C-alpha cells in the first residue's frame, strides 16, 4: 500500500542530532508549493526549540501563504508578536518602513487600552460584536478619538494575524448572539466612530498683536509681581514661535527643526527701484522623540513629499534674521545646527514650547475671551488653521494647499480652510496683508 502523500507544509519524519557544542539540530522533509521535496533544518538548545526552528524553516520553504499554522494565541500575545514585527519588518516588499515614533504610538495604545481590556481573550474568540462593544466602552469612558485609535491598532494586528496564518483570511465561523457568522478581520466589521466636527480658527492682525502684547509686556510684569524669585517663562521663545508658525504654516514640531542652512535671504528689486530682503525657509524636517533614540531631528516633515521652500512674510523674516544672526555652531551639543536651542545649546523639545503656550492660555483666559479668542482653541495647530484661512480667503484654497504642503485641496478645505519646490509668491503676500503690523 502506497504511503499517503504529505500535505503542503506537513513535516515528514523529524530526526535530531546533537552537535559537539551541545546544539540540537532538527531535520525533516517538506513539499513546497510546486510539489518539490525540500529538506529544511532548525537548531536550538533543546529538541523543542529545534523543532520550532525547523517548522519556521519549513514555512519559509513552502511559502508563507501556504504554510499551516495551528497556534492559538491571546490578544496580548498577538500584540507582542505584531509590535516586534512592526519595529523590525524585514519584508523586502516594504519600501517605506513605519517610523519608530509611529510604532511607539501603537505600543502606547496597546499598553493603555488593548491589553488591559482584551489581552487575555483568544483571538479566535474576538467577534465583531464583542469588538464593537469594547470600542463603544472606550468611546464612553475615554473619547471617540481614543476609540478610533484602538480600532485602527487592533485592525492592523488582526490583518497581520491573518497574513501569518493565525486567523483565517477566507473567513472563520464564529458563534455570536445573532447565530453563526463568517468573518475575516472582525475589527473591520465594527463601526468607526464619527470624529467631532472640525473647528475652523481665524485670527486677525489686531488679535495677534494683542496676544503678542500679552506675552511680551503683560506676562513678564505679572509673573514678576507674583513670583519675585525663580525661573521665568521664556516669553521671547513663545512670541518668536508664534510668529514663525504664522509665517511658515509649519506643524508644531517643524519650526523648532529649522537649521541654519535652511534659511536663505535674497535681495529683491521693487518696482520703485529699491531693494528689499526676503527670506525663504526650507521645510524639510521635524523634531521627534522615540524610546530608543530620545529627541532628534527627523530629516523630513510629516511626509517626504511635503518638503518645500516657503517664502515667509516680513514679520517671520524679522525673527529668522535675529535667530540666524545670533546663531553659534556647536557640533557637539547641536549636531544638526538647528536655530531654536536651549540655554545649554541643545535642540529644544517641542513639548516644552507646547507647555509654554498652555501656561499662557491658563494665565490669560479672560483676556483672550475678551478679544474673541477661545483659549482652548489657541494651539499651534490652530495657528496653522489661521494661516490656512488667511491665505485661502485672500489668495484661494489652491495657494493655501501648497503653503501647508497638502497633496489635495480637499484636505485643506476639510480640515483647515472652509508641491511645488518653491511656494508661490502670493502666499507670503497674503500673510503680509492679513497680519500687517503684528511685529511692531
* Shared domain check, 314 and 219: yes
- Domain membership of residue 233 (yes or no) is yes
pTM metric for this prediction: 0.64
pLDDT-above-90 percentage for the chain: 30
pLDDT(415) > 60: no
* Shared domain check, 148 and 118: yes
* Shared domain check, 55 and 81: no
What pLDDT does 217 receive? 93
pLDDT(401) > 60: no
> Can you tell me the distance from the alpha carbon of 110 to that of 415, in angstroms, rounded to the nearest whole number?
28
Q: How many CB atoms lie within 10 A of CB 3?
A: 6
- Domain membership of residue 3 (yes or no) is no
Contacts of 3 (CB under 8 A, 6+ apart): none
Strand partners for 290: 294
114-169 residue pLDDT tens: 999 999 988 878 888 889 999 999 999 999 889 999 999 999 998 888 777 665 54
Mean pLDDT, to the nearest integer, of 23-40?
81
- Please tell me which residue, 228 or 201, carries the higher pLDDT value: 228
Q: What is the mean pLDDT of the chain?
A: 79
* Shared domain check, 395 and 334: yes
* CB 313, CB 435: distance < 8 Å: yes
- Domain membership of residue 194 (yes or no) is no
* Shared domain check, 235 and 93: no
> Can you tell me the distance from the alpha carbon of 289 to that of 174, in angstroms, rounded to the nearest whole number?
42
Q: Which residue is listed with cell 494565541?
A: 73
* Shared domain check, 339 and 392: yes
Residue of 3, 4, 17, 6 whose CA lies nearest to 61: 6
Q: How confident is the model at residue 7 (pLDDT cuts 50, 70, 90)?
A: low
- Please tell me which residue, 170 or 250, carries the higher pLDDT value: 250
> Looking at 189, 219, 251, which one is the last position of a domain?
189
- Domain membership of residue 195 (yes or no) is no
The total number of structural domains that make up the chain: 3
Q: How confident is the model at residue 379 (pLDDT cuts 50, 70, 90)?
A: confident
- Domain membership of residue 214 (yes or no) is yes
- Domain membership of residue 200 (yes or no) is no
What pLDDT does 16 receive? 93
> Looking at 189, 224, 243, which one is the last position of a domain?
189
What pLDDT does 293 receive? 86
- Domain membership of residue 68 (yes or no) is no
Q: Which of 90-99, 239-248, 376-385 has the highest mean pLDDT?
A: 239-248
Mean pLDDT, to the nearest integer, of 207-220?
90
Q: Out of 71-75, 334-338, 339-343, which region has the weakest mean confidence (pLDDT)?
A: 71-75
Mean pLDDT, to the nearest integer, of 209-234?
91
pLDDT-above-70 percentage for the chain: 76
The CA-based diameter of the chain, rounded to the nearest angstrom, is: 103
> Looking at 41, 62, 83, which one is the last position of a domain?
62
* Shared domain check, 316 and 419: yes
Domain boundaries, position 36: 15-62
* Shared domain check, 395 and 350: yes
> Can you tell me the distance from the alpha carbon of 26 to that of 50, in angstroms, rounded to the nearest whole number?
5
CA distances from 94 to 62, 89, 90, 270 (A): 21, 8, 8, 50
The CATH number that applies at residue 272 is 1.10.443
The CATH number that applies at residue 117 is 1.10.150.130
Q: How confident is the model at residue 179 (pLDDT cuts 50, 70, 90)?
A: low
Q: How confident is the model at residue 438 (pLDDT cuts 50, 70, 90)?
A: confident
* Shared domain check, 184 and 210: no
Strand partners for 298: 286
* Shared domain check, 255 and 142: no
* Shared domain check, 215 and 167: no
- Domain membership of residue 70 (yes or no) is no
> Can you tell me the distance from the alpha carbon of 383 to that of 381, in angstroms, rounded to the nearest whole number?
5
* Shared domain check, 44 and 158: no
Q: Out of 1-5, 18-22, 274-278, 372-376, which region has the weakest mean confidence (pLDDT)?
A: 1-5
Mean pLDDT, to the nearest integer, of 402-425?
46
> Can you tell me the distance from the alpha carbon of 320 to that of 207, in angstroms, rounded to the nearest whole number?
22
Mean pLDDT, to the nearest integer, of 229-256?
87
* CB 261, CB 283: distance < 8 Å: no
What pLDDT does 61 receive? 66
65-123 residue pLDDT tens: 444 444 557 899 989 988 888 777 766 776 666 788 888 999 999 999 999 999 998 88
Amino acid at each position: 500500500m502506497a504511503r499517503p502523500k504529505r500535505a503542503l507544509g506537513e513535516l515528514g519524519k523529524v530526526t535530531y542530532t546533537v552537535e559537539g557544542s551541545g546544539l540540537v539540530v532538527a531535520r525533516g522533509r517538506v513539499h513546497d508549493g510546486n510539489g518539490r521535496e525540500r529538506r529544511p533544518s532548525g537548531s536550538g538548545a533543546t529538541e523543542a526549540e529545534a523543532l520550532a526552528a525547523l517548522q519556521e524553516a519549513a514555512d519559509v520553504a513552502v511559502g508563507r501563504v501556504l504554510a499551516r499554522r495551528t497556534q492559538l494565541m491571546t490578544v496580548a500575545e498577538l500584540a507582542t508578536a505584531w509590535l516586534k514585527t512592526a519595529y523590525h519588518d524585514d519584508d523586502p516588499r516594504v519600501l517605506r518602513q513605519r517610523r519608530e515614533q509611529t510604532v511607539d504610538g501603537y505600543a502606547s495604545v496597546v499598553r493603555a487600552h488593548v491589553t488591559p481590556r482584551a489581552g487575555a481573550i483568544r483571538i479566535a474568540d474576538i467577534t465583531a460584536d464583542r469588538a464593537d462593544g469594547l470600542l463603544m466602552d472606550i468611546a464612553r469612558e475615554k473619547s471617540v478619538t481614543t476609540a478610533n485609535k484602538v480600532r485602527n491598532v487592533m485592525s492592523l494586528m488582526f490583518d497581520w494575524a491573518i497574513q501569518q496564518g493565525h486567523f483565517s483570511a477566507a473567513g472563520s465561523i464564529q458563534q455570536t448572539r445573532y447565530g453563526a457568522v463568517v468573518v475575516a478581520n472582525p475589527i473591520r466589521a465594527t463601526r468607526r466612530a464619527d470624529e467631532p466636527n472640525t473647528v475652523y480658527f481665524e485670527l486677525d492682525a489686531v488679535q495677534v498683536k494683542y496676544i503678542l502684547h500679552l506675552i511680551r509686556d503683560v506676562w513678564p510684569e505679572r509673573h514678576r509681581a507674583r513670583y519675585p524669585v525663580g525661573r521665568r517663562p521664556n516669553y521671547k521663545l513663545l512670541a518668536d514661535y508664534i510668529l514663525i508658525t504664522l509665517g511658515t504654516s509649519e506643524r508644531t514640531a517643524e519650526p523648532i527643526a529649522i537649521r541654519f542652512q535652511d534659511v536663505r535671504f535674497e535681495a529683491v528689486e521693487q518696482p520703485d527701484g529699491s531693494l528689499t530682503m526676503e527670506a525663504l525657509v526650507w521645510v524639510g524636517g521635524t523634531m521627534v522623540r522615540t524610546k530608543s533614540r530620545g529627541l532628534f531631528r527627523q530629516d523630513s516633515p510629516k511626509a517626504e513629499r511635503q518638503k518645500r521652500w516657503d517664502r515667509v512674510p516680513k514679520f517671520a523674516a524679522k525673527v529668522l534674521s535675529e535667530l540666524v544672526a545670533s546663531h553659534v555652531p556647536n557640533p557637539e551639543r547641536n549636531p544638526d545646527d538647528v536655530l531654536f536651542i536651549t540655554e545649554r545649546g541643545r535642540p529644544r523639545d517641542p513639548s516644552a514650547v507646547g507647555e509654554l503656550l498652555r501656561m499662557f492660555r491658563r494665565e490669560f483666559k479672560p483676556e483672550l475671551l475678551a478679544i474673541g479668542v477661545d483659549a482652548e482653541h489657541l494651539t499651534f495647530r490652530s495657528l496653522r488653521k489661521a494661516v490656512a484661512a488667511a491665505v485661502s480667503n485672500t489668495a484661494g484654497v489652491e495657494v493655501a494647499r501648497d503653503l501647508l504642503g497638502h497633496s489635495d485641496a480637499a484636505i485643506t478645505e476639510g480640515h483647515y480652510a472652509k508641491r511645488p519646490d518653491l511656494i508661490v509668491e502670493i502666499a507670503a503676500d497674503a500673510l503680509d496683508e492679513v497680519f500687517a503690523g503684528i511685529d511692531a
